[in-house]
Chain A
Amino acid sequence: MRRREPAPIRWLFATGDPRRLAALRIGLCATLAVRLGRDIFVELADQPSELFRPLSFMRLLPAMPSRGVALTFQIVGIAAAVFATVGLRSRLTLPVAWACGVLLIGMATSLGKVVHNDVLLLLAMVPLLVAPTGDAWSLDALRREPPGSSVRYGWPVRTAALVVAGSYFFTGFAKVVFSGPAWFASDNLRFALYASSDAQSVPNAIGLFVAGRPWLAHAVAAGVLVLELAFLIVLWRPRWAWAFVLGAAVLHLGIWTTMHLDYSAWIATVAVVLLDWPRIVDRLGTGSRPVLA
């Protein structure tokens, strides 16, 4: 008798719609193209080596890459990301775009502190590096018969979803490990908002509104922790994806509004990976239905 594989393995390797995988390619590569289009990388390239504080693989370098190297990687990375977005040689262009992104964004995390703003985007793209992302909704697939549902289109999407949900879970988990209940039960969030407001040239009215009301600050902190720890639920209840996408959007927009920290790439990544875009497109009546095996 054939042994049945464990449920997590069966979940991970279930069949998937090639359009769902293509949606990840389109959304994540477009997001990466936007993120690589910032001028921060060329500015960082001018950094004197005395201020270079590399982390991870950046320790292999003696200093920030030169302006010429940074600009080259930026141009190549953006071009590759755009080509991958439209599905042109995506087996090549997607990994190239990702590699350029890792180096360039690695520069931003070499100032002395781990920078998380683009981590979720880069990690969610890892399963796509070896996946057939261009088999649907792509220039490469224009003259081909649309493929049917297959495991090869399922596991990259589910792996990316696992990474997204896991990232939020581990963010909440770290709060529990390092702070325990004090993270929401103490005045932690109030002080974080006060400190952030004091660092801004004009006091932040929204941050001060929350910080000035202890009950509200505690409620917001508890809500953040619950959202993060509960994120894994979306893997078992994919129909609840809308709620988690909305929750993440509110969380990161709140952080932007009060602390001016840019986590827009996290919002985009969550929405791209967790929402069923083929279903949305079908409902909007603009996409063709796949030929399912």
Chain B
Amino acid sequence: MGAFLTAFVICGLFGVEAWPLSGFRLFSHVRTVDRATFVAVTVDADGIEDPIPFKRLPAAYRGFGFVARALPSLSPADRLAACRVWADVAELELGRHVAEVRVYRLDITLLPRAGGRAVSQPVRTLAYGCTVDDPDASP
């Protein structure tokens, strides 16, 4: 038990994450007026985009935001694999005909606000995309 308490204190003091031991970094970083988030959209054969509502999908797919943030650090093969999974789940769970999946980064400014929402429109940047049939992906 001494080893457990020692590990508990060390993780807490130095912010080490060794789950279930934790550095307890919950909301520890300051939020600013600017924030970035990611959204994935399916594109059908006519080029019409439709966001994927991950919150309505099974829990297995709700880590989209974390995977999207990590896309630049993934290998091309891993990026493509993840993208294809999102295309597959959109077809299976949402009944969509998917020609392509695009992941956009949304840069949002939280102020000013009106009607309970931020007034300014998010700045959308294409972060990644993959087609369902074509083995190549972009960017």
Within 8 A of A (CB), among B36-93: 37, 58-63, 65-67, 69-70, 78, 81-82, 84-85, 88
- Contact present for B1 and A113 (CB under 8 Å): no
- Contact present for A46 and B81 (CB under 8 Å): no
A43's partner among B18, B27, B59 (CB-CB below 8 A) is B59
- Contact present for B1 and A127 (CB under 8 Å): yes
Tell me the complex Cα distance, A188–B5, Å.
32
B13's partner among A105, A173, A189 (CB-CB below 8 A) is A173
- Contact present for B24 and A111 (CB under 8 Å): no
- Contact present for B60 and A167 (CB under 8 Å): no
In the complex, which residues of chain B have a beta carbon less than 8 angstroms from the beta carbon of A187? 33
Closest to B77 in A: A50
Question: Residues 53-75 of chain A: 1 if any B CB is under 8 Å from the residue's CB, otherwise 0?
Answer: 10111100000100000000000
Question: Residues 91-126 of chain A: 1 if any B CB is under 8 Å from the residue's CB, otherwise 0?
Answer: 000000000001001101101111010010011001
Asked whether B108 is an interface residue with its Cβ less than 8 Å from the other chain, the reply is yes
Query: Number of residues in B with C-beta < 8 Å to the partner?
Result: 52
- Contact present for B28 and A177 (CB under 8 Å): yes
- Contact present for A53 and B63 (CB under 8 Å): yes
Tell me the complex Cα distance, A257–B81, Å.
37
Within 8 A of B (CB), among A32-58: 40, 43-48, 50-51, 53, 55-58
In the complex, which residues of chain A have a beta carbon less than 8 angstroms from the beta carbon of B113? 194
Q: How large is the interface on A (under 10, 10 to 19, 20 to 34, 35 or more residues)?
A: 35 or more
Closest to A45 in B: B60
- Contact present for A44 and B26 (CB under 8 Å): no
In the complex, which residues of chain A have a beta carbon less than 8 angstroms from the beta carbon of B22? 114, 116, 119, 123, 167, 170
A43 touching B58 in the complex, CB below 8 Å, given contacts A116-B22, A167-B24: yes
> Chain A contact residues: over half helix, strand or loop, or mixed?
helix
- Contact present for B63 and A119 (CB under 8 Å): no
- Contact present for A111 and B30 (CB under 8 Å): no
- Contact present for A46 and B23 (CB under 8 Å): no
Interface-located stretch among A195-203, A239-247, A282-290: A195-203
B15's partner among A159, A177, A191, A192 (CB-CB below 8 A) is A177
In the complex, which residues of chain A have a beta carbon less than 8 angstroms from the beta carbon of B12? 166-167, 169-170, 173
In the complex, which residues of chain B have a beta carbon less than 8 angstroms from the beta carbon of A123? 8, 20-22
A179 touching B29 in the complex, CB below 8 Å, given contacts A51-B67, A127-B1, A166-B12: yes
Tell me the complex Cα distance, A53–B61, Å.
11
Tell me the complex Cα distance, A175–B26, Å.
8
In the complex, which residues of chain B have a beta carbon less than 8 angstroms from the beta carbon of A169? 12
Tell me the complex Cα distance, A55–B17, Å.
9
Asked whether A142 is an interface residue with its Cβ less than 8 Å from the other chain, the reply is no
In the complex, which residues of chain A have a beta carbon less than 8 angstroms from the beta carbon of B30? 179, 182-183, 186, 188
Tell me the complex Cα distance, A47–B66, Å.
15
CB distance from A267 to the nearest CB of B (A): 15
A174 touching B24 in the complex, CB below 8 Å, given contacts A50-B78, A112-B67, A191-B31: yes
Query: What is B's interface to A at a CB cutoff of 8 Å?
Result: 1, 4-5, 8-9, 12-13, 15, 17-33, 35, 37, 58-63, 65-67, 69-70, 78, 81-82, 84-85, 88, 108, 110-111, 113, 115-118
Closest 8 CB pairs of A and B: A112-B66, A111-B63, A203-B116, A170-B12, A47-B60, A191-B31, A43-B59, A56-B19
